[in-house]
Amino acid sequence: MKKTLCIVAVLLTAVILLASCGGAPKSSGGASAPTAAAAAPAQPAERKAPSNVPQFVKDALLNAPEDALIGIGTAKLASQSQSRTIATTRARAEISRTMNSMIKDMITDYTASSEVDPSAALAYQETITTALSKSTLTGSKVVDFDYTSDGTCWVVVALGKSSLVEEINQSQAAAKLAVPAMAAFNAQDRMESAFNKANGQELQIGDR
């Protein structure tokens, strides 16, 4: 009887051990549970403001839409209304400068990986830059403005990504007609990385 009980106990122990081993996660074969969380989507680059801007400008940059290019302009004229008008114009000019720089970098990258004649790429760049420079940037909006104690007006302007893409697409359509060799260049497809790169650089102040 004791011998039988001992055999039963040994068998039960073996069954428990086998069940325990069978429940352990497998290291190979079949689907395995993920060991790390999925990669988070890329976050927009943090805007870098010059150290000499007033605090309300820094606050405006923090509150501005993440998917927007920012321009900062200043002016000090005979009246506050004149100062604000000129400062706004200068802020929009800074956005135009950023857009033109983006286009230049995008075309340079495209040319390096394609068989497009560099002279054609340069002509395309000049055409689209001229078109952008003439644009009124109607999609840009004043985020904030104020006057410092010395009477200088500071204006922060934002141009949303959707408006930016529309501006570039319109200019690109005209540029492709002028330079057919660049027909395969798609600015919108290259916009995301160029946009984040532009927003990661220190913002310049339009003051003239």
Dihedral class, residue 137 (left if φ above 0, else alpha if ψ from -120 to 50, else beta): left
Q: Average pLDDT, stretch 155-182? A: 84
Give me the residue label for tokens 């004149």: 82
Whether 36 is in a domain gets the answer no
Whether 35 is in a domain gets the answer no
Whether 34 is in a domain gets the answer no
Task: Quote the Cα angle for 114-115-121, to 5°.
Answer: 80
Whether 113 is in a domain gets the answer yes
69-88: per-residue pLDDT in tens? 889 999 999 999 999 999 99
Q: Which residue spans within 24-77 are E strands per DSSP?
A: 68-75
- In single-letter form, the type of residue at position 45 comes to A
Say if residues 163 and 66 touch (Cβ distance below 8 Å). Answer: no
Nearest to 51 by CA among 202, 207, 195, 206: 202
Whether 25 is in a domain gets the answer no
DSSP conformation letters of 166-178:
HHHHHHHHHHHHH
23-51: per-residue pLDDT in tens? 444 444 444 444 434 444 445 556 777 77
101-128: per-residue pLDDT in tens? 888 888 888 888 888 888 888 998 888 8
Say if residues 90 and 206 touch (Cβ distance below 8 Å). Answer: yes
CATH of the domain at 106: 3.10.28.20
Whether 7 is in a domain gets the answer no
Please list the residues that pair with 42 across neighbouring strands: none
Number of domains in the chain: 1
Q: For position 156, what pLDDT does the model report?
A: 94
Whether 28 is in a domain gets the answer no
pLDDT band at 145 (very low <50, low <70, confident <90, very high): very high
- The residue segments making up the domain with residue 144 are 56-203
Nearest to 188 by CA among 162, 208, 207, 206: 162
Whether 175 is in a domain gets the answer yes
Say if residues 95 and 137 touch (Cβ distance below 8 Å). Answer: yes
Asked if residue 4 has pLDDT above 90, the reply is no
